[in-house]
Structure 1
Amino acid sequence: MLLPLGAGAVVAPPVSAGFNPSGFDFWVDSPEMGPIKSRVFRANDGNTNRVVYVLDGERAQGDLNGWEINTNVAEVLQGWNINVVMPVGGQSSFYADWDSPSSFFGVAPGTGSSAKNSGSGISEALGGGEGKSYRYTWESLLTNQLRWALRDRLGFNPNRNGVFGLSMGGSAALTLSAYHPDQFSFAGSFSGYLNISAPGMREGIRAAMMDAGGYNVDCMAPPWGPQWLRMDPFVFAPTLIANNTRVWVAAGSGAPMQQDLAIPLGAAADRIIRGTPLEALALANTRAFQVRMMSLGAGNVVYDFPPAGLHAWTNWQDNAYRMIPDLSANIG
């Protein structure tokens, strides 16, 4: 197990990935994490009632959210008159409140060469920085400090918001909506970890988190305890039904899309070699969640399993295009 798990049609403008000048930085202080940046994109019609939080994947960067770097989804959402909030940072965090700062063998963060930003997860395991020099408290930030700052400073509606994400952000979106139903009426997961207590999943996540920044899953949530089970959509599925949360879950087949082939041959081959097995795993995980929800008689879920789609931004961008009409109808 290598990594993630991760209607109507939307006519989208041409992709203009990278820094989007229509957004602005919005800083909020977290009691434990310090100043945290989000990127905010205002709805084209100026309303403050319709809001969606857009969550990144496991390799979240510290400068911009991956959705802004790799897609034009913020621009499309603005066109649907939806205000967009993109938290920045939180690599391997699962947007959770962690049990403790990430560390190994009781070694203090920032020790020796491991403190350098080498790009290798193993060499960074004993380093300092986000989630290591302090405890991650992302759930508290998103549902408390950021939520009320958006209301008080921008007038954003703090209720009936949407939330969606990919990979770790997908499972986090369902978790946030399950435990904060007044804030989130809609949750979307693309290639998400939706059955993390299945055999082998914890060790698969352990390997993924080590690779993505050198983080220790045991510091996020102790093995098989209440904190871990609280994060498992397969376990809290009845809560999503009881809340009547509108849920959208998607995973690709692992076959490349046309966009994946319309790039230089070497890059396309690399994308397919990496993205096919990961998305196949995501698909199996998401199908297990589907079976669980169907066994409970859930009528509040849309399932999206396109015939092509790798574990790649091409897939997730198209997932978002298909989801947006349903999101729009279930927030505000």
Structure 2
Amino acid sequence: MAAVCLCATGSAIAEPTSPITPARALDSAQPAANGSRLTAAEQGPGRLVELTVFSAAMGKPITIEVLPAVDDSVPAPTLYLLNGVDGGSSDGDWSTGDNWLTKTDAASFFADQHVNVVMPIGGGGSYYADWRHDDPVLGKQLWTTFLTKELPAVVDSAFGTTGANAVAGLSMSGVSVFQLAMGAPGFYRAIGSYSGCVRTSDLQGRAVVDSLVTSQRGNVDNMWGPPNDPAWAANDAYLNAEKLRGTTIYVASGNGQAGPLDTLDGPGIDEDPAKLIDQLTVGGILDAIAGRCTMQLGDRLRELNIPATVDVRARGTHSWGYWEQDLHNAWPSFRAALER
């Protein structure tokens, strides 16, 4: 099922020079207004640049993985990619965690594209929100402030960006992208949500949010308060869809039924029957829920005459292989929005 598709063609830089190096990023980076700053930059695998950005709001360093634009001679826009419920790391190590770099072809897909791809590591169970109270386990969670007011100032100066931004996320962060866009109107030209359930304030939505936060041992009351608190409705993109008008929107999900990638030789399964069973059962349930949420959001956007691409696949589960496809499919409309 699809609404109005916002698509456009674009071209990568034909004769690139070279991406920005860690040394140049350190030399160019400027602090945010509140003192958040780049404290380290190192060369990672391939062209990956690994940043450490101190968040003044949260009082701690945050690891940021960046795929710099292919050509450093021309300012480029920025695409922020957010991770799922575990924040993309395993015991603080992104290289062994489930994230855009380890589970998809993001590094090669954007290798010839004129865009800075920025991937924060951390924020597991946080919904990338500004929590009202510090959590005994998760600590101080002020991710909306970090992502919209602290990190962009550092990235824009370090990499010489155009100032045009887009953001995409999956599962938990597929909800967060809407909340970030509503909280910072006009900051993101495009948002992508893959297998997210954005209707957070009805009974099903609250149950999903609570289960994901609890899975990381957090207390959801510290985020938006008890179930009857107005903050739940205020963060519900279904109820507040009018705030998304003017933003390029790409929303996708499976419907929970086994699809072409749900096989023993599918992405990430590695011929492991246990992994496949988990993907078909847990992943099937999660995308059955996300698929219904996505259809509801699509109906709401059409009702308000807000253009969007809404793609609910005939089959597919809650898994990285489909999210990689979603990223590929969304990119043309993202690129058009970032270049306008």
* 1:171–1:193 contact (8 Å) kept in structure 2: yes
Post-superposition Cα deviations, 1:283-317, rounded to whole Å, max 9, x if no partner, equal: 0111111111111122x211112222210111111
> CA, structure 1 residues 136+319, in 2 after alignment: closer, same or farther (shift >3 Å)?
same
1:144 maps to which of 131, 135, 149: 149
* 2:241–2:300 contact (8 Å) kept in structure 1: yes
The 2-side partners of 1:215 and 1:259 are apart by 32
Question: RCO greater where, 1 or 2, for CA within 8 Å and sep 6 or more?
Answer: 1
Q: Secondary structure at the match of 1:79?
A: coil
* 1:188–1:249 contact (8 Å) kept in structure 2: yes
The 1-side partners of 2:8 and 2:279 are apart by 28
Which residue in 2 is equivalent to 1:289?
297
Listed as ranges, the matches of 1:205-244 within 5 Å are 205-211=209-215, 213-223=216-226, 224-241=228-245, 244=246
The AA in structure 2 aligned to 1:287 is M
Which residue in 1 is equivalent to 2:201?
197
Post-superposition Cα deviations, 1:61-91, rounded to whole Å, max 9, x if no partner, equal: 2322711121112331232222100001000
The 1-side partners of 2:185 and 2:54 are apart by 24
- Structure 2 residues without counterparts, runs of 5 or longer: 1-6, 10-43, 266-270
Query: Structure 1 residue 70 and structure 2 residue 103: aligned?
Result: yes
Which residue in 2 is equivalent to 1:270?
278
Q: Secondary structure at the match of 1:258?
A: coil
Which residue in 1 is equivalent to 2:334?
327
Q: Secondary structure at the match of 1:200?
A: helix
1:145 offset after TM fit, Å?
1.1
What is the root-mean-square deviation in Å for CA atoms of aligned residues? 2.1
Which residue in 1 is equivalent to 2:49?
24
1:182 offset after TM fit, Å?
3.2
1:255 maps to which of 251, 254, 257: 257
The 2-side partners of 1:251 and 1:20 are apart by 31
The AA in structure 1 aligned to 2:123 is G
> CA, structure 1 residues 205+179, in 2 after alignment: closer, same or farther (shift >3 Å)?
closer
Which residue in 1 is equivalent to 2:75?
48
1:168 offset after TM fit, Å?
1.5
1:275 offset after TM fit, Å?
0.9
Q: Secondary structure at the match of 1:235?
A: coil
1:23 offset after TM fit, Å?
1.0
Query: Structure 1 residue 85 and structure 2 residue 90: aligned?
Result: no
Identity of aligned residues (%): 28
Post-superposition Cα deviations, 1:165-220, rounded to whole Å, max 9, x if no partner, equal: 00111111112222323321000100112101122321332122212x20111101
Query: Structure 1 residue 318 and structure 2 residue 308: aligned?
Result: no
The AA in structure 1 aligned to 2:54 is D
The 1-side partners of 2:312 and 2:168 are apart by 16
The AA in structure 2 aligned to 1:267 is K
- Structure 1 residues without counterparts, runs of 5 or longer: 1-6, 10-18, 104-127
Once the two structures are overlaid, the 10-residue window that deviates more, 66-75 or 91-100, is: 66-75
Which residue in 1 is equivalent to 2:135?
102
1:308 maps to which of 311, 315, 318: 315
The 2-side partners of 1:181 and 1:282 are apart by 25
The 2-side partners of 1:32 and 1:148 are apart by 14
State TM-score, norm by structure 1.
0.80
Q: Secondary structure at the match of 1:176?
A: helix
The AA in structure 1 aligned to 2:275 is A
The AA in structure 2 aligned to 1:208 is L
Aligned length: 285
> CA, structure 1 residues 268+185, in 2 after alignment: closer, same or farther (shift >3 Å)?
same
